[in-house]
Chains A and B, each alone.
Chain A
Amino acid sequence: MTLTIVLACAAALLALAPFAVVIGRSAAASRLIYGASVIVPAISLIAALAQLLGTAAPETVTLPVGLPWLGAHFRLDALSAFFLIVVDLGAASASLFALGYGEHETSPERVLPFYPAYLAAMTLVVLADDAFTFLVSWEFMSLTSWALVMSHHRLPDNVRAGYVYLVMASFGTLALLLGFGLLAGSDGLYTFAQMRAAHPPAMLGALALILALIGAGSKAGLVPLHVWLPLAHPAAPSHVSALMSGVMTKVAVYGFVRIVFDLAGPPAWWWSIVVLALAGVTTVMGVLYALMQHDLKRLLAYHTVENIGIIFIGLGLALAFETYGMTFAAALALTAALFHVFNHSLFKSLLFFGAGAVLTATGERDMEHLGGLIHRMPQTAFVFLIGCVAISALPPLNGFVSEWLTFQAILLSPQLPSWGLKLLVPAVGALLALSAALAAACFVKAYGVTFLGRPRAPAAETATETNSFSLAAMFLLAALCLLAGILPGLFINALAPVSSALVGGHMPVQTGAQWLALVPITASRSSYDGMLVFVFMAISGTLAAFAIHRLASDRLRRAPAWDCGYPDASPATQYTAMSFAQPIRRVFGTVVFRAREHGEMPPPGSTRPARLVVELHDLIWEALYAPLAVGIGFAAERLNHLQFLTIRQFLTLVFCTLVILLLVLAIWS
């Protein structure tokens, strides 16, 4: 029943797309489409919740669409239900945000038709139960999001972003196609149920892991396949950016989990080593890239890369524990990773909504032209602050809980017998801790430079608060962040069926502990009570305020800033995003980005000002992609000669190919 509801919602969203083409240019089109896009995913969300929290068995259905001998299989089990919740929550909140944001869209006819189709595609990927449906929905998801990225196609940056995105998405789908082909085998077992029953040999499973890492990993944003993410995510309209960062990357994680944990058979000893190594590098590189940015949306996009790294660290640990039969620890690591999936979709969407609000209010994405927005846009500033605190993994909000659970999983790993893991896991733990600290630095920069201080440009001085729909969406997500931080036990319990299905065990039920504490292993070992920490902080803050009001003087006067006695009226004397990141750039960036600073002095007599030039190199692009592009260009240049052959040479080509094929046939048979 729930599966039918969910499929009906997906079909409704698909039907909205041509409808949006028809009514495209009318005034109420945006309201209508986004309004429907709030209601339909909300219905789907309720159905998915019912499936996850209830005890019903997984439902399957086969529709007679697609390939005639295959049909389209759909299945709603615990894993699909969880990811469907993530997708629908993101979709509903993005549509709520867009109810207000969409009013400012300059070319709605390029956005509105693709938006519901995009939502439908993501839903179908999560529901797909055979390889063909999965891949078709995956490609459809990539294409619709590409169309949304290209919606403002007059900007040259967006054109380049769309091109890189298309190339990387096609590459990823190719990898997934090969992976599914290997798992299907020579008998053509395309449905997931058949793949699960067939036990693939170790070599096949290994190849499936590698291809899943490449295919799903590039869509999620694993280094070094992440290069499209910081180009494409900022280029799309803000609600779409939130969907791409907060939801589509999670759909990619779903793809990885489905293939590696469900379909590829029992893991070999080295699988978790590869995943953990990649994840550790992704985490640190993502946050270091983010720290060097001064475009707000690009910063958020790079930060998504870091959080995907954290999720994959949890998944890698789960894989490691599963390899050696430590079911309990595997459940802990898997639950930590999936909880982080949920948390990240919440606060990343919130932050992108905030960036969208700032963009509509000021027309600027560049932090160097913003500042002082806390006075002009107080509610956006408040809710953006909550998002920043959540993403920096600070108690009592939700980011801290998933990171704490990951640390507890790391503390269980000395029991792993593999030497490689014994050396890798502490290193990955150190990288995780390093990235958490750097993430806090990154968001101090993002919030402080954008909202605090003094306005650096006229656009920031004349900003106004954003509309109530956008604010409603942001406050909803902020409230959910607080809820997930204070009552994490509820969410952990909800994830129990998912981890039971995948690793065969689940975390202890979280309702028994006193005062709603979270007890991941045993009470004597570790526990965390988000509710109590929040209550204690509130009480001590109030006590302090009360005591101060009783004991201290309450006089206050406003005066110019002290600034050590040299106040400067020009807002150019305050710190900018690049100057805030300078110490970290000097410590980490000198090695990782070959960052160099030098001053360009004008020749004597010239009236040009001196400039400080900062050079940053994206080493991954320069080492991997640029030579690849040169190589492809070179090969294409050579192959181009094939177009200009004479008739005799064409005939020779056909003749040689025929002879070679006949030779192969002769030798092989």
Chain B
Amino acid sequence: MILDMTVQGAQMLLVLLLAPLFTGFVRKVKARLQRRQGPPLIQPYRDLARLMRKEVVLAQNASWLFRVIPYLIFAATWVAAALVPTFRTGLLFSWSADLIAIIALLGSGRFFLTLAGLDVGTSFGGIGSSREVMIASLAEPAMIMIVFTLALIAGSTQLSTMAEFMASPAVGLRVSLGLALLALIIVAIAENGRIPVDNPATHLELTMVHEAMVLEYSGRHLALIELTASLKLILYVSVIACLFVPWGLAPAGAGWPALAIGVAAYIGKLAVGGFLLALFETSIAKMRVFRVPEFLGAALMLGLLATLLRFVSGSF
């Protein structure tokens, strides 16, 4: 019991501490691929520290909701990230929220973030929020269809159970898994605002979605929001890792050696995932905003096709 609690606590801290490092790693790899030196790996930590030291400049008509929202979305995303098995399955509280609940928690984070965009009453906040809900209106159903496919294969919606099933030899190479993986990658890119859906490094407001919503935030609030964005990215990479590359995950009740292997495997998976993400972002251009629904519509169709195949026959 004590070990379980420590492992759960360690998992929560691990994702929180690794999140800015992951973002820094992706930026560094992108810079190197573009033949630049790039910022140091720990630059995001420095950015967060700098933002926390600064004074918050609040718009005159910003409400109490505007000030509370960064804490709300951080809480929702951190709870969701704490429930994803990163180095060990069967976390102490993993049964309290399954994959559907995790997606819905991220959805509540997004709900409040879009409200924040509308709070100050500027046109930039409006553009960010309206585009974000358009992207979400297709990304979320695609994600739910992916969850259905995986749940129908693994027989459960609990992430730990799914990860253990995927690691076992019973899973086989299935068509619907391939379709679900493709759809999940597309949804992960859209939900985290990476190229080709949104550019996380842009300074041109008309090309932003996420940045436009948080335009009015500064100081410690902005630090929390940036940390939340990194946390969300690492959450999605962890979900892909624990579902499609589950080898190395320590089973529930394992001893210290298995846990150490689990942590090492997790860090390795993050490194590979970050490298692939950086490679993908460097090799493709950002899409025009109204081509994003077609892109996400393809993900929704893939998810629907995968679910349909699972309904039609158990061997798909």
Q: Say if A and B assemble together.
A: yes
Question: Given A394-B107, A536-B79, A556-B58, A574 and B123 touching (CB < 8 A)?
Answer: yes
Question: Given A525-B156, A529-B96, A551-B52, A563 and B101 touching (CB < 8 A)?
Answer: no
Q: Is the CB of B121 within 8 A of A548?
A: no
Point out the residues of chain A lying under 8 angstroms from B216, CB to CB: 561-563
B241 at the interface (CB under 8 A from A): no
Q: Is the CB of A433 within 8 A of B145?
A: yes
A494 at the interface (CB under 8 A from B): no
Q: Is the CB of A426 within 8 A of B308?
A: yes
A400 at the interface (CB under 8 A from B): yes
Q: Is the CB of B129 within 8 A of A437?
A: no
A389 at the interface (CB under 8 A from B): yes
Stretch at the interface among B32-40, B147-155, B271-279: B147-155
Stretch at the interface among A39-47, A137-145, A215-223, A580-588: A580-588
Contact of A548 among B126, B139, B220 (CB under 8 A): B220
Inter-chain CA distance A580–B134, complex, in Å, is: 10
A314 at the interface (CB under 8 A from B): no
Q: Is the CB of A575 within 8 A of B224?
A: no
Q: Is the CB of B141 within 8 A of A449?
A: no
Contact of B144 among A429, A441, A571 (CB under 8 A): A429
Point out the residues of chain A lying under 8 angstroms from B144, CB to CB: 407, 429-430, 433, 436
A179 at the interface (CB under 8 A from B): no
Give A385 Cβ to nearest chain B Cβ, in Å.
7
* Nearest A residue (CB) for B58: A558
Question: Given A389-B111, A438-B137, A555-B55, A452 and B118 touching (CB < 8 A)?
Answer: yes
* Nearest B residue (CB) for A444: B114
Q: Is the CB of A407 within 8 A of B100?
A: yes
Point out the residues of chain B lying under 8 angstroms from A556, CB to CB: 55-58, 219
Contact of A540 among B75, B123, B126, B137 (CB under 8 A): B75
Q: How many A-B residue pairs have CB under 8 A?
A: 286
A341 at the interface (CB under 8 A from B): no
Give A598 Cβ to nearest chain B Cβ, in Å.
17
Question: Given A426-B148, A553-B220, A562-B215, A526 and B138 touching (CB < 8 A)?
Answer: no
Q: Is the CB of B121 within 8 A of A430?
A: no
Inter-chain CA distance A580–B114, complex, in Å, is: 11
A393 at the interface (CB under 8 A from B): yes
A422 at the interface (CB under 8 A from B): yes
Give A498 Cβ to nearest chain B Cβ, in Å.
25
Stretch at the interface among A111-119, A369-377, A653-661: A369-377
Q: Is the CB of A564 within 8 A of B124?
A: yes
A533 at the interface (CB under 8 A from B): yes
Contact of B130 among A525, A548, A553, A579 (CB under 8 A): A579
Point out the residues of chain A lying under 8 angstroms from B114, CB to CB: 444, 448
Over the window 214-247 of chain B, the binary record of Cβ atoms lying under 8 Å from chain A Cβ atoms (1 yes, 0 no) is 0110011001100000000000000000000000
Give A240 Cβ to nearest chain B Cβ, in Å.
29
* Nearest A residue (CB) for B223: A552
Q: Is the CB of A429 within 8 A of B307?
A: yes
Q: Is the CB of B215 within 8 A of A533?
A: no
A453 at the interface (CB under 8 A from B): yes
Point out the residues of chain A lying under 8 angstroms from B52, CB to CB: 548, 551-553
Q: Is the interface of A mostly helix, strand, loop or mixed?
A: helix
Give B210 Cβ to nearest chain A Cβ, in Å.
15
B71 at the interface (CB under 8 A from A): yes
Point out the residues of chain A lying under 8 angstroms from B145, CB to CB: 426, 429-430, 433
Contact of B310 among A414, A427, A517, A537 (CB under 8 A): A414
Q: Is the CB of A395 within 8 A of B108?
A: yes
Give A374 Cβ to nearest chain B Cβ, in Å.
5
Contact of A437 among B137, B156, B290 (CB under 8 A): B137
Contacting residues of chain A (442-474) with chain B, CB-CB under 8 angstroms: 443-445, 447-449, 452-454
Q: Is the CB of B130 within 8 A of A575?
A: yes
B174 at the interface (CB under 8 A from A): no
B173 at the interface (CB under 8 A from A): no
B119 at the interface (CB under 8 A from A): yes
Contact of A557 among B58, B74, B75 (CB under 8 A): B58
Q: Is the interface of B mostly helix, strand, loop or mixed?
A: helix
Inter-chain CA distance A557–B57, complex, in Å, is: 5
Contacting residues of chain B (63-81) with chain A, CB-CB under 8 angstroms: 63-65, 71-72, 74-76, 78-79
Give A250 Cβ to nearest chain B Cβ, in Å.
24
Contacting residues of chain A (566-612) with chain B, CB-CB under 8 angstroms: 567-568, 571, 573-575, 579-584, 586-588
Over the window 3-38 of chain B, the binary record of Cβ atoms lying under 8 Å from chain A Cβ atoms (1 yes, 0 no) is 000000000000000000000000000000000000
Q: Is the CB of B71 within 8 A of A557?
A: no
B42 at the interface (CB under 8 A from A): no
Question: Given A395-B105, A430-B141, A553-B53, A583 and B134 touching (CB < 8 A)?
Answer: yes
Question: Given A429-B145, A553-B54, A574-B126, A537 and B75 touching (CB < 8 A)?
Answer: yes
Q: Is the CB of B307 within 8 A of A528?
A: no
Inter-chain CA distance A538–B224, complex, in Å, is: 16
Give B12 Cβ to nearest chain A Cβ, in Å.
8
Point out the residues of chain B lying under 8 angstroms from A434, CB to CB: 137-138, 141, 300
Inter-chain CA distance A669–B12, complex, in Å, is: 85
Question: Given A533-B96, A533-B97, A555-B56, A394 and B124 touching (CB < 8 A)?
Answer: no
* Nearest A residue (CB) for B135: A583
Give A410 Cβ to nearest chain B Cβ, in Å.
7
Point out the residues of chain A lying under 8 angstroms from B65, CB to CB: 374, 381, 385, 452
A22 at the interface (CB under 8 A from B): no
Inter-chain CA distance A558–B63, complex, in Å, is: 11
A70 at the interface (CB under 8 A from B): no
A15 at the interface (CB under 8 A from B): no
Inter-chain CA distance A587–B62, complex, in Å, is: 31
Q: Is the CB of B304 within 8 A of A452?
A: no
* Nearest B residue (CB) for A583: B134
Give B159 Cβ to nearest chain A Cβ, in Å.
11
* Nearest B residue (CB) for A430: B304
Point out the residues of chain A lying under 8 angstroms from B108, CB to CB: 389, 394-395
Q: Is the CB of B121 within 8 A of A372?
A: yes
Of the candidates A372, A400, A548, the one having the most CB atoms from chain B within 10 angstroms of its own CB is A548
Point out the residues of chain A lying under 8 angstroms from B290, CB to CB: 583, 586-587
A168 at the interface (CB under 8 A from B): no
The 8 A-B residue pairs whose C-beta atoms are closest, nearest first, are A575-B126, A448-B118, A453-B121, A541-B75, A433-B141, A583-B134, A441-B133, A529-B96
Beyond the given A444-B129, A537-B79, please list 17 additional residue pairs across the A-B interface where CB-CB is below 8 A.
A411-B148, A426-B148, A426-B308, A429-B145, A430-B145, A430-B300, A441-B134, A528-B97, A536-B82, A537-B76, A540-B75, A552-B223, A553-B219, A553-B220, A556-B58, A558-B60, A582-B130
Which residues of A come within 8 Å of B, CB atoms? Answer: 371-372, 374-375, 378, 381, 385, 389, 392-395, 400, 404, 407-408, 410-411, 413-414, 422-423, 425-427, 429-430, 433-434, 436-438, 440-441, 443-445, 447-449, 452-454, 515, 517, 523-529, 532-533, 536-538, 540-541, 544-545, 548, 551-553, 555-564, 567-568, 571, 573-575, 579-584, 586-588
Q: List 5 A-B contacts (CB under 8 A).
A: A375-B61, A414-B314, A423-B312, A529-B93, A561-B60
